[in-house]
C-alpha cells in the first residue's frame, strides 16, 4: 500500500487525490483488520474470525525465534482458541460445507487457512469414526472441539527403551486420554504428546491448528501406527506399536 503523509493530504494535487482514491480499498482493509484485532464480541468476550486469525498469526511468528517455547505456544494458542466465537459466520459456513460430505464414510478435512507459519483446518467425524495413531514430525498441534464428542489419546515415543521393540516397531507411552466436548482443547508439541489417535463418540467437528503447517516433507515423515491390543506387562501405559508402511 502506498503511504500518504499528512503534508500530502493537506496539499492534494489531482494526481494525489486520485492516488488516495485508489488506495481507499487497501486503507479500508487495514482498518477492518485493525478493528478485528480489537474485535471481541461485546456479549461474552469472544473473538471474531479475523481477530482470531490475526492473534494466531502473531503467536505463530514466534516459531522463528531461537527461543521458541512450544509448550508456552500451545498454551497461548489454546487460550486464543478458547475465546473464538464458534458461531462466527466463517466457521459456520466451513462447517456447513463439510457437513454435506458426512455420508462418504471417512473423516472430512477442509482447510480454512493455509499460511507459511500455520495451517488451520476443520475436521469432521461421523459417529464411530477413528483416526489411527500417527505423529506430527517437528510440529505443534491444537485441537478445539467445535461440536460433538470425541475421545483423544496422546502418546510419547519412548526414545531408548530398556528392551528395544522388534524391528518395525516402537514403544509408546500413553500420556493423556480425554473426551473432548464443545470448547474443549487438546494440544501436542514436537516433543510431548506428539502421537495421537481420535475416536468420535458423536458427529464431531474440530478446529485444528498446526504450527508449522504440513508440507510435503512433514507429510512424508509422518508415521502411522498400529497399537498392540495389550499394554506391556507391569505398565498399562506402555504399548508396543507397529509402524505401518
Ligand atoms: Fe493428528
Q: What is the pLDDT of residues 96-133, one digit of tens each?
A: 888 777 766 678 888 999 999 999 999 999 999 999 99
Q: What is the CATH number of the domain that holds 121?
A: 2.60.120.10
Q: Is 53 inside a domain boundary? A: no
Ligand 1: centre distance to CA 134 (Å): 6
Q: Is 114 inside a domain boundary? A: yes
Q: Is 42 inside a domain boundary? A: no
Q: Is 52 inside a domain boundary? A: no
Q: Is 85 inside a domain boundary? A: no
Q: Is 225 inside a domain boundary? A: yes
Helices (H), 140-225: 216-221
How many domains does the chain divide into? 1
Q: Is 23 inside a domain boundary? A: no
> What would the grid cell of residue 19 be?
492516488
Which residues, 6 or more positions from 200, have their beta carbon under 8 angstroms from its beta carbon? 125, 126, 127, 128, 129, 130, 148, 149, 150, 151
Helix (H) or strand (E) holding 31: helix 14-37
Ligand 1: centre distance to CA 234 (Å): 29
Ligand 1: centre distance to CA 196 (Å): 6
Ligand 1: centre distance to CA 30 (Å): 34
Nearest to 154 by CA among 136, 138, 169: 136
- pTM for the model: 0.81
Asked if 153 and 197 touch (Cβ cutoff 8 Å), the reply is yes
Ligand 1: centre distance to CA 192 (Å): 13
Which residues are bridge partners to 193 per DSSP?
none
The 10s digit of each residue's pLDDT in 21-80 is 555 555 444 444 444 445 455 456 789 999 999 999 999 999 999 999 999 999 999 999
**Domain extent at residue 148:** 98-243
CA of 213: how far to CAs of 54, 70, 111, 205, in Å? 16, 14, 11, 19
Amino acid at each position: 500500500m502506498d503511504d500518504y503523509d499528512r503534508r500530502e493530504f493537506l496539499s492534494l494535487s489531482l494526481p494525489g487525490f486520485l492516488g488516495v482514491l485508489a488506495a481507499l480499498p487497501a486503507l479500508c482493509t487495514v482498518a477492518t483488520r485493525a478493528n478485528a484485532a480489537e474485535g471481541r464480541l461485546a456479549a461474552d468476550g469472544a473473538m471474531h474470525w479475523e481477530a482470531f486469525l490475526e492473534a494466531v498469526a502473531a503467536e505463530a511468528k514466534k516459531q522463528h525465534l531461537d527461543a521458541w517455547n512450544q509448550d508456552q505456544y500451545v498454551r497461548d494458542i489454546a487460550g486464543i482458541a478458547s475465546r473464538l466465537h464458534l458461531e462466527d459466520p466463517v466457521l459456520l459456513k466451513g462447517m456447513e460445507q463439510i457437513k454435506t460430505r458426512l455420508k462418504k464414510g471417512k473423516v472430512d478435512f477442509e482447510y480454512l487457512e493455509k499460511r507459511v507459519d500455520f495451517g488451520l483446518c476443520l475436521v469432521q467425524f461421523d459417529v464411530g469414526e477413528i483416526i489411527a495413531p500417527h505423529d506430527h514430525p517437528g510440529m505443534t498441534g491444537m485441537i478445539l472441539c467445535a461440536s460433538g464428542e470425541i475421545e483423544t489419546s496422546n502418546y510419547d515415543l519412548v526414545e531408548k527403551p530398556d528392551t528395544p521393540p522388534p524391528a518395525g516397531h516402537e514403544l509408546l507411552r500413553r500420556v493423556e486420554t480425554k473426551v473432548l466436548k464443545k470448547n474443549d482443547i487438546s494440544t501436542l508439541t514436537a516433543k510431548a504428546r506428539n502421537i495421537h489417535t481420535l475416536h468420535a463418540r458423536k458427529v464431531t467437528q474440530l478446529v485444528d491448528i498446526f504450527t508449522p503447517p504440513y508440507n510435503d516433507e512433514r507429510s512424508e515423515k509422518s508415521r502411522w501406527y498400529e497399537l498392540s491390543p495389550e499394554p506391556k506387562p507391569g505398565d498399562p501405559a506402555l504399548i508396543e506399536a507397529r509402524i505401518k508402511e
